[in-house]
A and B are shown apart, each in its own frame.
Chain A
Amino acid sequence: AQRVTQPEKLLSVFKGAPVELKCNYSYSGSPELFWYVQYSRQRLQLLLRHISRESIKGFTADLNKGETSFHLKKPFAQEEDSAMYYCALNGGSQGNLIFGKGTKLSVKP
């Protein structure tokens, strides 16, 4: 079954510390994975996608097919990074995204 798992509901770090938000997936084909972010009182928005191998706002994510993971990383967290983060998997030909339950990142000053 297709599934996205984000094991941490809440992650709290101090400003300047490294941060890693975990995402594991279950998918039989070649996965397309995304990270979405929802800042307070803002709409859910695309942060990055594995296919473009980009770095957005200092965040990167590498697809590890062996470990079926797509962890989101940033070397130095900022207070403005505090938000809800969702990992998502393209579920196939229908184009539906399957979302994890989300991780709330809190960056303390």
Chain B
Amino acid sequence: DGGITQSPKYLFRKEGQNVTLSCEQNLNHDAMYWYRQDPGQGLRLIYYSQIVNDFQKGDIAEGYSVSREKKESFPLTVTSAQKNPTAFYLCASSIAAGTGHYGYTFGSGTRLTVV
């Protein structure tokens, strides 16, 4: 059964703590993306990766970091430098960068709350 799996579904972070959100896909997609979804703000791009071992900053990359060591995996770390991390985080993938006309496949999301 192909798709994107995000884990955990809910995550609680203490002030000053780094946390990592997992995103795994078995669709053999080259490109992967992280978006942040806030009420009334739509989806804002955090980071994206077009190929293994390469990634680029999106519009709101400050306070976040990523890695792309494997084609299937694109974890997102929310660092203590992110001032307002409470949000819903969405991971997506597409066949390849530049072929956006196929659209994205999205994961089910991780809701991060700072406590």
Taking Cβ atoms with an 8 Å cutoff, the residues of A that contact B are 6, 9, 32, 34, 36, 43-46, 49, 51, 86, 90-91, 93-102
The A contact surface, by secondary structure, is: loop
Considering the chains assembled together, what is the distance between the CA atoms of A95 and B95 in angstroms? 10
**Chain B 29-60 near chain A by CB (<8 Å), digits 1 or 0:** 00101010000111111001010000010100
Instruction: Kindly state whether residue B103 has any CB partner on chain A within 8 Å.
Output: yes
Assess A34 versus B103: contact at CB under 8 Å? Given A9-B40, A99-B43, A100-B42: yes
B109 contact set on A, CB distance < 8 A: 43
Tally of chain B residues near chain A (CB < 8 A): 27
Interface centre among B45, B96, B100, B106 (most CB of A within 10 A): B100
A95's contact among B35, B41, B50, B106, by CB below 8 Å, is which?
B50
B41 contact set on A, CB distance < 8 A: 101
Considering the chains assembled together, what is the distance between the CA atoms of A90 and B94 in angstroms? 12
B90 contact set on A, CB distance < 8 A: 44
User: From residue B89, how far is it (CB to closest CB) to chain A in Å?
Assistant: 12
Assess A97 versus B106: contact at CB under 8 Å? Given A9-B40, A86-B42, A86-B43: no
